Amino acid sequence: MSIWDRDRVPGITGRHALGLWLTYRKLATAGYVPGALSRAPLKFKVPAWYPVTFALTARLNAEDRITTTPGFWLVYLIGSSSLAPGFRLQLYDSEKNQRLGDPLNFANGLGSAARPFILRKPHFFTTRSPLLIRVQNQDVSGATNNIQVVAAGFGE
């Protein structure tokens, strides 16, 4: 039985998991979730979350590495900031020497726990490769900004 199969329970009309019908996106859902070919390798995988926490004062930078499980698919990005200006984020796949997008403000590229940002095309990590997360505090007040970034997806 797979959560990806529409008719996984005989006699009961199926509903898709992974928010293939996002109630807050309605008919525009297809533009915000991975396509069928991108979802196919995620069958029978186990959910995994990798949280990273930073405490930064005004305009400081920090980075941390996450070592993923073998065969990990990065699907969701979740983030929060304790101060209104937030932070900038950049992700980097160390094994492939590849940036996962340009640096961006967290409000534009990270979701919340209630509405995670779903990558249109999940990113695959072959081995226990490190994912580098770089953040820059955007606040200038001098107060400590508590930042949390969660890389979530599916692994072996």
Measured CA to CA, the distance from residue 109 to residue 126 in angstroms comes to: 24
Confidence of residue 129 (pLDDT cuts 50, 70, 90): confident
Q: Which helix (H) or strand (E) holds 39?
A: helix 36-39
Confidence of residue 53 (pLDDT cuts 50, 70, 90): very high
Q: To which residue do tokens 């967290």 refer?
A: 106
42 phi and psi, to 5 degrees? -85, -5
Confidence of residue 19 (pLDDT cuts 50, 70, 90): very low
Q: State the pLDDT at residue 5.
A: 52
88 falls within a domain? yes
39 falls within a domain? no
Across 40-49, b (16+ Cβ under 10 Å) vs e yields eebeebeebe
Q: How many domains does the chain have?
A: 1
Q: What is the mean pLDDT of residues 143-153?
A: 94
Its pTM stands at 0.80
- Which position has the higher pLDDT, 10 or 111? 111
The residue segments making up the domain with residue 111 are 45-155
pLDDT surpassing 80 at residue 125: yes
CATH classification of the domain holding 84: 2.60.120.230
Q: What is the mean pLDDT of residues 113-142?
A: 90
